[in-house]
Structure 1
Amino acid sequence: MKKIIYSLLALGFSFYAMAQGNNYVQDYTKYPGLALTPPMGWNSWNKFACNVDENMIKQMADAMVSTGMAAAGYQFINIDDCWHGDRDAQGFIQPDAKRFPSGMKALADYVHSKGLKLGIYSDAGSQTCGGRPGSRGYEFQDALTYASWGIDYLKYDWCNTEGLKAEGAYKTITAALKKAGRPIVLSICEWGNDKPWEWGQTVGHLWRTTGDITNCFDCIKDHGTWKAFGTMPILDKQEGLRQYAGPGHWNDPDMLEVGNGKLTPGEDRAHFTMWAMIAAPLIAGNDLRSMSKETTEVLTNKEVIALNQDKLGIQGLRVSAQDGLEVWAKPLSNGDWAISFLNRSDKPQKVNFDWTKQKVYDDINKIDASFTTTTYTIKNLWDKNDKGKATTKKTFNAEVPSHDIIALRLTKSSR
């Protein structure tokens, strides 16, 4: 009898412990239903670094609307590092009062009044990369604060994270955001060191796959303790990652350098097109207030943006590479395909693409272009004069200038 009583007591204590423990179980999954296509917006870092203030952010929101970028699909105005002031006596973060005298809630209200969304930045460590207060130990307070301000997007960096493990740290902030109750897109900015593509799908909506981008076409800048990469080296680092991307969870090769002055017009086109082809977030990093006509035309090319925003959410694949000329393909909705010819070499390259002799097959999603049995109409997305009357019945002949690209959309016409 005593054995039965002791067993029942032990069982009761076990259930009590489990019940008590369940009071503290966190939901480590991201807010659902967000970023079903790659996020589109603007971020302050590439052009302005720490030089941010509320007037400039308001002007960027105005420019996003007046330049046609909002109409083209851009939504987010994201403030990167250095907006922070100190924490108050209770530990709640405050914006820098000199730079953001009206406060973040008022700024969010202004951005929302333009039909846009406001993003903000923090860090998993004790300090941000710019030396401002990080979120370590304050994750739940910060999430509540961001929700009360009306924030829509959080870029969460990885500086000063001594002893932390990335997956656990990002699960903590996503649990905090979930608990705060406001739908906030979480951008994991861990630089790819801990392979976030392997664990990030349930934790964040996008994850950086590399270190920082730098404003050049094909270079690597060594800063001693870290390196920054031009657009082509970053593109190469996406190899082997396409199976991890899809609606609500995206590989992020970092923000765009289009319009920042060091890339040629052709390099801007190539950079933008390839980010579209690989289903990358399209986060502009230039000064929207003073864009040239050429920059505006690149960033608002709706037909190229449509490749990026295709609802299938499939990341493109490299079909071939020879003498600096690469052929890339991306399956699209309704049986369409995107085909791009990227010229990374220092001289023009001729394209003679016989569709009937080319095999274009997505082995991850099991989608075959089947050029031998299917005819497609062809539209050149950077040629304003192309009316889309050519078909895959004839070899595609063209010349791609150095450091430039030709992007085609193929629409199924018959079998």
Structure 2
Amino acid sequence: MQKQRNILSVILFIFYVSVYGQGNNHAQDYTKFPGLALTPPMGWNSWNKFACNVDERLIREIADAMVTSGMRDAGYSYINIDDCWHGERDSLGFIHPDPQRFPSGMKALADYVHSKGLKLGLYSDAGSMTCGGRPGSRGYEFQDALSYASWGVDYLKYDWCNTEGLKAEGAYKTMAAALKKAGRPIVLSICEWGTDTPWQWAASVGHLWRTTGDIFNCFDCIEDHGSWKSWGVMQILDKQEGLRKYAGPGHWNDPDMLEIGNGKLTPGEDRAHFSMWAMIAAPLIAGNDLRNMTGETISVLTNHDVIRVNQDSLGIQGFKYSVKDSVETWFKPLKGGDWAVCFLNRGKQEARVNFDWDGERVTDDLSGAQLDVSRQEYKLKNLWTGKISGSTRRRLNTIVPSHDILMFRMSAK
């Protein structure tokens, strides 16, 4: 096995010299691969549930479960291995997976994932070490990109730990150039936590960028770690304020992974979490154990109607229209003149929603879309029951339970 790894490294080194050692390479292409992530990426990531406890058996089983659960058919495609897959660099500087955890190698694992009709994602870091203390990509960006391409990797989550002295925009442009040079189309997920306002510069560099620090498995709370904080679902949602103008096909705001199915959210909170991530055109990256899901969790993660809102080809991020007591009303324009609307109850008690469709004139200043029910009647499909719930001809008068949501698709009659 060691001999095979050495041979592979020599081949990669020769390729590296032949590609990069000839001609004028002063000008780098610091842009991402075009044509990828035209709708928000959908998949799974290991970190929220397993942290550093990853190995090839787990990843194979997760890929199997993504198929048997119906998630693949619902649109999920990426199986992303987060931190701690790394072994050491060889004498030529090429990274290898941990031989105890991934004895078959990453190429064999990618082949298995691809055989399931899925794609493989990996994690690295712009600094000298990853957040989990494994080798980072600083100074090895082009070699790492070559390795990822040779293994058949489809997605790279690129973190921001141990980056002393680096500027985020430059560091992420370096990795974008390395991936482009390696030649394999790879989605670049920028994970620098929104510290350096990536939404202002990252649209041409990466396909998505984190807008906040890490999510915490709680609906409405903050976990204080001293020097940094993790954020509950509602806190993450609030931090998206003002960012919708930066999102669109191929370049998405990323409010972090989903906590659905990890045991601390109620069924209503799971629905609200999934609905709001759909409304704000967020990547839908599950973070639970797909091998041991309840039917209730599967029904949330595979709700085709809600996913359809998230994956709408217009790529317009929804907006908060109004707030009354504990209830927020959100709208999202959809292709073909449809709209999605959510009534989110953030309060600890149930709340009555009394919404006069005819008395509201909804205008999206970003897209120019207008919703005027005095001119056009819309039928209302409840996306969590799957049933038609009347139309905009009548005032909506109903109860939304605590920490739950009412979500409709509005279609012209």
Give me the TM-score of the superposition, normalised by structure 2.
0.94
Q: Which runs of 5+ in 1 are unaligned?
A: 1-19
Q: For residue 396 of structure 2, what is the aligned residue in structure 1?
A: 396
Rounded Cα–Cα distance in structure 1 between residues aligned with 2:382 and 2:251? 29
* Structure 1 residues 121-147: Cα deviation after superposition (integer angstroms, max 9, x where no partner): 000000000000000000000000000
Rounded Cα–Cα distance in structure 2 between residues aligned with 1:335 and 1:395? 21
Q: For residue 16 of structure 2, what is the aligned residue in structure 1?
A: none
- Is 2:341 the counterpart of 1:339? yes
Q: For residue 374 of structure 1, what is the aligned residue in structure 2?
A: 376
Q: For residue 257 of structure 1, what is the aligned residue in structure 2?
A: 259
The alignment-based identity, stated in percent, is 72
Q: Which runs of 5+ in 2 are unaligned?
A: 1-21
What is the total number of aligned residue pairs between the two structures? 392
One of 178, 181, 188 as aligned partner of 2:180: 178
Q: Shift in Å at residue 21 of structure 1? A: 10
Q: Shift in Å at residue 77 of structure 1? A: 0.2
* Structure 1 residues 183-204: Cα deviation after superposition (integer angstroms, max 9, x where no partner): 0000000000000000000000
Rounded Cα–Cα distance in structure 2 between residues aligned with 1:22 and 1:112? 36
Q: For residue 49 of structure 1, what is the aligned residue in structure 2?
A: 51
Q: Shift in Å at residue 353 of structure 1? A: 1.0
Deviates more, 1:118-127 or 1:22-31: 22-31
Rounded Cα–Cα distance in structure 2 between residues aligned with 1:35 and 1:392? 34
Q: Structure 1's 389 and 273: CA in aligned 2 closer, same or farther, altered over 3 A?
A: closer
Structure whose alpha-carbon radius of gyration is higher: 1
* Structure 1 residues 157-207: Cα deviation after superposition (integer angstroms, max 9, x where no partner): 000000000000000000000000000000000000000000000000000
Rounded Cα–Cα distance in structure 1 between residues aligned with 2:108 and 2:325? 54
Alignment partner of 1:326: what SS? strand
Rounded Cα–Cα distance in structure 2 between residues aligned with 1:169 and 1:255? 23
Amino acid at match of 1:409: R
Q: Shift in Å at residue 404 of structure 1? A: 0.2
Q: For residue 121 of structure 2, what is the aligned residue in structure 1?
A: 119
Amino acid at match of 1:240: G
1:314-325 alignment, distance < 5 Å = 314-325=316-327
Q: For residue 284 of structure 2, what is the aligned residue in structure 1?
A: 282
Q: For residue 195 of structure 1, what is the aligned residue in structure 2?
A: 197
Q: For residue 216 of structure 1, what is the aligned residue in structure 2?
A: 218
Q: For residue 298 of structure 2, what is the aligned residue in structure 1?
A: 296
Alignment partner of 2:144: what SS? helix
Alignment partner of 1:297: what SS? helix
Rounded Cα–Cα distance in structure 2 between residues aligned with 1:282 and 1:217? 17
Amino acid at match of 1:321: V
Kindly report structure 1 stretches of 4+ aligned residues shifted beyond 6 Å: none
Rounded Cα–Cα distance in structure 1 between residues aligned with 2:65 and 2:163? 36
* Structure 1 residues 195-247: Cα deviation after superposition (integer angstroms, max 9, x where no partner): 00000000000000000000000001110111000000000000000000000
Rounded Cα–Cα distance in structure 1 between residues aligned with 2:112 and 2:252? 28
Alignment partner of 2:176: what SS? helix
Q: For residue 34 of structure 1, what is the aligned residue in structure 2?
A: 36
Q: Shift in Å at residue 23 of structure 1? A: 3.3
Amino acid at match of 1:253: P
Give me the TM-score of the superposition, normalised by structure 1.
0.93
One of 143, 146, 152 as aligned partner of 1:144: 146
Rounded Cα–Cα distance in structure 1 between residues aligned with 2:133 and 2:118? 29
One of 104, 107, 113 as aligned partner of 1:105: 107
Q: Structure 1's 369 and 22: CA in aligned 2 closer, same or farther, altered over 3 A?
A: farther
Rounded Cα–Cα distance in structure 2 between residues aligned with 1:404 and 1:204? 33
* Structure 1 residues 252-301: Cα deviation after superposition (integer angstroms, max 9, x where no partner): 00000000000000000000000000000000000000000100000000
Rounded Cα–Cα distance in structure 1 between residues aligned with 2:191 and 2:344? 28
* Structure 1 residues 282-336: Cα deviation after superposition (integer angstroms, max 9, x where no partner): 0000000000010000000000000000000000000011211000000000000
* Structure 1 residues 53-82: Cα deviation after superposition (integer angstroms, max 9, x where no partner): 000000000000000000000000000000
Q: For residue 8 of structure 1, what is the aligned residue in structure 2?
A: none
Q: For residue 83 of structure 1, what is the aligned residue in structure 2?
A: 85
Q: Do the aligned partners of 2:35 and 2:250 also contact (CA within 8 Å) in 1?
A: yes
Q: Do the aligned partners of 2:382 and 2:389 also contact (CA within 8 Å) in 1?
A: no
